Amino acid sequence: MKILIIGTTGAIGSKVKEALSAKHEVISAGRSSGDIQVDLTDAASIENMYRSTPGIDAVIVTAGSSGMENFQTLSEKSLLPGIQSKLLGQVNVVLIGQHYLNEGGSFTLTSGILADEPARDAAAGSLVSGAVNSFTIAAATELKRNLRVNAVSPGLAADSADAIAHLFPGFNPVPMQKLVNAYLKSVEGVVTGQIIRVHE
């Protein structure tokens, strides 16, 4: 398969790229790195990405973040960056990409454990991840040409635990291979409309 991965510099994206590169042609995309550049907050940039990489069989998004902020100071303005990148960015990857992917292709989005389990100062992440999950379930019912869409919901990635575990007390680190397998299931498998939760 010809697979496009958006976001390959992070803990999860780098491992997913490594695993898929052994069997498939992988093209990496990022805001300032990768084989091609894309700004997930800009629909025109996403469309240009697809136009420059024809014949794609699968798209994976592991980019985008929603930030951490005290609930008492959280505002529409501070929510917008996460909504524009991790939510609307991934939504546009599907809405625009449905017209470019090969028949039978797949989209794999990334949400997160915060959709199901809250953490302090993480309401923005809960909002965005929950919305990504809901969009995935709905989109799967309307995609044409046998296109599939799933969302992987990672827990606390083991490779990130040392840096951010203090923000998520009591959350169990998830082995990286379990996270990678979730993306493989979505890309190489047959499921659609699934939230593939890998929380511990």
70-106 residue pLDDT tens: 999 999 999 999 999 999 999 999 999 999 999 999 9
117-146 in b/e form (b: 16+ CB < 10 A) is: eebebbbbbbbbbbbbbebbeebbeebeee
66 confidence band (pLDDT: 50, 70, 90): confident
Amino acid at 127: L
User: Please, which residues have CB within 8 angstroms of residue 43's CB and are 6 or more apart in sequence?
Assistant: 92, 96
pTM of the model: 0.97
The DSSP code for 98 is T
CB atoms within 10 A of CB 24: 15
Task: Average the pLDDT over 167-173 and give the result.
Answer: 94
The reported pLDDT for the residue numbered 60 is 98
Rounded to whole angstroms, the Cα distance separating 93 from 14 reads 19
Q: By the 8 A CB rule, do 57 and 102 touch? A: yes
User: Please, which residues have CB within 8 angstroms of residue 19's CB and are 6 or more apart in sequence?
Assistant: 180, 183, 184
Phi, psi of 130 (to 5 degrees): -65, -40
